Structures are given as structure tokens and as C-alpha cells.
Amino acid sequence: MGLFSLEFTAAHHYIEQDRYHHYNTHRYVPDGDRSVRHHQTVLKDAPYGRARRRAEKEPLSPREYLDRYKEALRAIQAAEFEVAAYRSQMESISSPAPGTPVQSSPVDRMAAGLERLEELEDAVQTAKDEAKIIKREVEAAIATVPDPVLQSILRLRYIDRLSWGNIAKHTKYAKRTVFNYHDQALLVIKIVH
């Protein structure tokens, strides 16, 4: 088998929706020893909330549905950061020191780098397109709330992404009142699919 050590998780699943994970772990050890298989059940944090619902294909709560736009904007920021980091990395590509073996020419590396950069920029554009769609869906859901005051609070929170304190200042309501109106709005909102 060669001299190496490798460990991986073969099966990872949840047992009866409790907080226990079940692992089948295979560990390979250097030549001469046999493969050892470990069975263990370990207490871990099982997914809860949104992660559990996504895993089980349950519908999102109104708050989670509205938060999708914020998540889409974060995805755009992450993709743009990756593009900027990759551009910076490409700019710092230098020729190898004399006497070191060269596996590819600088032209080949530059072409591969430009291709990767184009892929990353396409990912940014895709993320922006998805965010526009999600924003329209969230705005349509907010429009189903009959009270304009409740609509404005939802719009300020989920579209304009203001903090609770800034929403209170903007609407001239007490922060507790803003919380109460927000909760009322979540009770009457209709999710548009």
C-alpha cells in the first residue's frame, strides 16, 4: 500500500434527529499493518434551524425567506473578494529563480490565470443576477403585507438592511415598537413562490 496514513469519514448521517452523529471512519496505517475500521457515535451539534430545514426540504420561515436577499448580497461580496484576491495574486506572478525547474512557461500560467479570472468574474455576475431575482421575490412578499407601516419596517430591514436602531430613528418609533411591528408583519406576510 505504500507508506502513508489516510483518514476519512465514509458515512456521516444523523440518527433520529437528535444531536448524535454516526461516523464510520477508515484509517490506513503504514505497510505491514492492516486497515482498522472504527465505529463511533459522537455528540456533535446537529444542524438546526435553516440548515436542518434545507436538509429536510422544509419551507423557510418568513424571516429566513426575507433574509435570502442579505445572503445573496454576502455571496456577491465573497465572489468579488475572490476576484480581487486572484487579480492580486496574478499581478504578483514572477519568473522563477535561476536554476529552479520550470514546469510551465509564464505564458501558459498567465493564460490559465486569465481563464480562471474570467470564471470568477462570471461567478460574480451570476451572483448579481441571482440577487436581483431574490430582491424582486422579497419585495413581492413585502408587498403582500396590508399595512404600509409594517411594509416600510420590513423594507428598511430586509431590502435596505438597516439596523434596528436606525429603523427606529428613521420611523421615529421606539425600538421595542419596531420589534413588535416587525413581528406583526411576519405573521401576516404571504410568501410568494
Q: Are strands 20-28 and 6-14 parallel, antiparallel or unpaired?
A: antiparallel
Is the model's pLDDT at 73 over the cut of 50?
yes
Nearest Cα neighbor of 192 from 150, 142, 152 is: 142
Q: Which residues pair with 42 in a beta bridge?
A: 21
**Contact criterion met (CB below 8 Å) for 62 and 186:** yes
- From the list 83, 157, 160, the residue with the least C-alpha distance to 123 is 83
User: How many residues in total does the chain contain?
Assistant: 193
- The larger pLDDT score, comparing residue 91 to residue 189, is at 189
The residue ranges of DSSP E strands in the chain, in sequence order, are: 6-14, 20-28, 36-43
Evaluate whether 147 touches 185 at the Cβ level (below 8 Å).
yes
Q: What is the pLDDT of residues 127-170, one digit of tens each?
A: 999 999 999 999 999 999 999 999 999 999 999 999 999 999 99
**What pLDDT is attached to residue 93?**
62
pLDDT higher than threshold 60 for residue 77: yes
Q: In what order do the strands lie in the sheet with 6-14?
A: 6-14, 20-28, 36-43
pLDDT at 104 over 80: no
pTM: 0.62
Residue 58: which pLDDT band, with cuts at 50, 70 and 90?
confident
Tell me the pLDDT band of 49, cut-offs 50, 70 and 90. low
Model confidence at 56, pLDDT cuts 50, 70, 90, reads low
